[in-house]
Homo-oligomer: A and B are copies of this chain.
Amino acid sequence: MAEVSNKQVILREYVTGFPKESDLYVSSTATIKLKLSEPEHEGSSNKLVLVKNLYLSCDPYQRLLMERIEGLSSQPNSSFTPGSPIYGYGVAKVLDSGHPDLKAGDLVWGTTYWEEYSRIPAPEGLIKIQHTDVPLSYYTGILGMPGLTAYVGFYEICSPKKGEHVFISAAAGAVGQLVGQFAKLMGCYVVGSAGSKEKVDLLKNKLGFDEAFNYKEEADLNAAFKRYFPEGIDIYFENVGGKMLDAVLLNMRLHGRIAVCGMISQYNLDQAEGVTNLMHLVYKRIRLHGFSVRDHYHLHSKFVESMLPYIRQGKIVYMEDIVEGLESGPRALVGLFKGLNFGKQVVDISA
């Protein structure tokens, strides 16, 4: 069978410091057969699925994979390979399947490559999409990895109670915007931080946060927390790390909980900022809990079923920032680290 061209987004070299658009490039040299070989198709042990990629997800953790990861035996991901296409979460349509649970025409989400067509193992890497009355891109966001991250991080890790005081950093991002809405649904007081006036307005006017502030305009973060949380913070949903975490620690309340989802402010630094206020973990008996959505995918179908009514009734909204075409991918991905995205950053390659 003839091969077709398969455009790809390639990592040029391992990255140090802030990633640049030129650290990635789009290549049109690869080709791919749009059919599995006979042994692959007949359900060999690796259960390959051939997909056409539709939506690619830009997520902060991908920055960590742009450098050589060493000595992290517990790190679940391996680095991207320079000269090869990067990978991430995405939504795709099955073209051919060597797995009995998936057939041509099925829609799936999961780990895929930044290219037009991919060969992926299933079901380890792919989950079948059951509901298509919502935007398919939602499976890179509210109904995919970021959504389940927000759900698990808030409900399971933070053990929230009605009336508690919740702070969320990177609150206009793919995860933060959902944590804030979950916390409001539970009857909490919710404050978010973001990096622009437009995002602050979004949080307050569209997403229902009680308060929001632009961290770039706060020379003294501790003073900002004293203003927004005069009685202290019960729950902090941590997306940024560094100075923000240090100031939050000073303002936590007795028996507070901090869910550590990520630390985007630290990913581009040669040496992470030192956090100095950890004795407040003892003073206030705080639980600081790192988690990964990877431990919780067994909850995904239950999670989707519980979210769909809220989405359909407009009780939870989701902001997406969608760019078109693989060529727009590098700029969209590196833009995350300058906060250029307005909501969940997605690359639409369905055309």
Interface residues of A (CB under 8 A from B): 71-76, 232, 241, 245, 250, 252-254, 260-263, 266, 271-292, 295
* Neighbouring B residues of A276 by C-beta, 8 Å: 271-275
A272 B282 Cβ-Cβ under 8 A: no
Chain B CB within 10 A, most for which of A74, A253, A263, A275: A74
A77 to chain B, nearest CB (A): 9
A74 B287 Cβ-Cβ under 8 A: no
Q: Quick one: given A272-B276, A276-B272, A288-B288, are A281 and B254 in contact (CB under 8 Å)?
A: no
Extra pairs beyond A72-B283, A241-B278 (19, CB < 8 Å): A73-B232, A74-B232, A74-B252, A74-B284, A263-B278, A263-B279, A263-B282, A266-B279, A271-B276, A272-B279, A273-B274, A274-B274, A274-B275, A275-B278, A285-B291, A285-B295, A286-B290, A287-B290, A288-B289
* Neighbouring B residues of A262 by C-beta, 8 Å: 282
* Neighbouring B residues of A275 by C-beta, 8 Å: 274-276, 278
B281 A74 Cβ-Cβ under 8 A: no
Closest B residue to A253 by beta carbon equals B74
Chain B CB within 10 A, most for which of A245, A263, A289: A289
Closest B residue to A157 by beta carbon equals B287
* Neighbouring B residues of A286 by C-beta, 8 Å: 289-290
- Interface SS majority for chain A: loop
* Neighbouring B residues of A74 by C-beta, 8 Å: 232, 252-254, 283-284
- The complex places the Cα of A60 from the Cα of B260 at a distance, in Å, of 29
A291 B295 Cβ-Cβ under 8 A: no
B282 A291 Cβ-Cβ under 8 A: yes
- The complex places the Cα of A71 from the Cα of B283 at a distance, in Å, of 12
A281 B288 Cβ-Cβ under 8 A: yes
- The complex places the Cα of A286 from the Cα of B157 at a distance, in Å, of 11
A298 to chain B, nearest CB (A): 15
- The complex places the Cα of A294 from the Cα of B281 at a distance, in Å, of 14
Closest B residue to A291 by beta carbon equals B285
* Neighbouring B residues of A292 by C-beta, 8 Å: 282, 285
* Neighbouring B residues of A72 by C-beta, 8 Å: 283
A149 to chain B, nearest CB (A): 11
* Neighbouring B residues of A274 by C-beta, 8 Å: 273-276
Q: Quick one: given A275-B274, A276-B271, are A290 and B281 in contact (CB under 8 Å)?
A: yes
Closest B residue to A255 by beta carbon equals B295
Closest B residue to A271 by beta carbon equals B276
B277 A272 Cβ-Cβ under 8 A: yes
* Neighbouring B residues of A254 by C-beta, 8 Å: 74
Chain B CB within 10 A, most for which of A245, A272, A282: A282
A100 to chain B, nearest CB (A): 31
- The complex places the Cα of A266 from the Cα of B282 at a distance, in Å, of 13
A245 B282 Cβ-Cβ under 8 A: no
- The complex places the Cα of A273 from the Cα of B74 at a distance, in Å, of 26
Of the candidates B245, B266, B281, B291, which one forms a contact with A289 in the assembled complex, judged by CB atoms under 8 Å apart?
B281
- The complex places the Cα of A263 from the Cα of B249 at a distance, in Å, of 15
A70 to chain B, nearest CB (A): 11
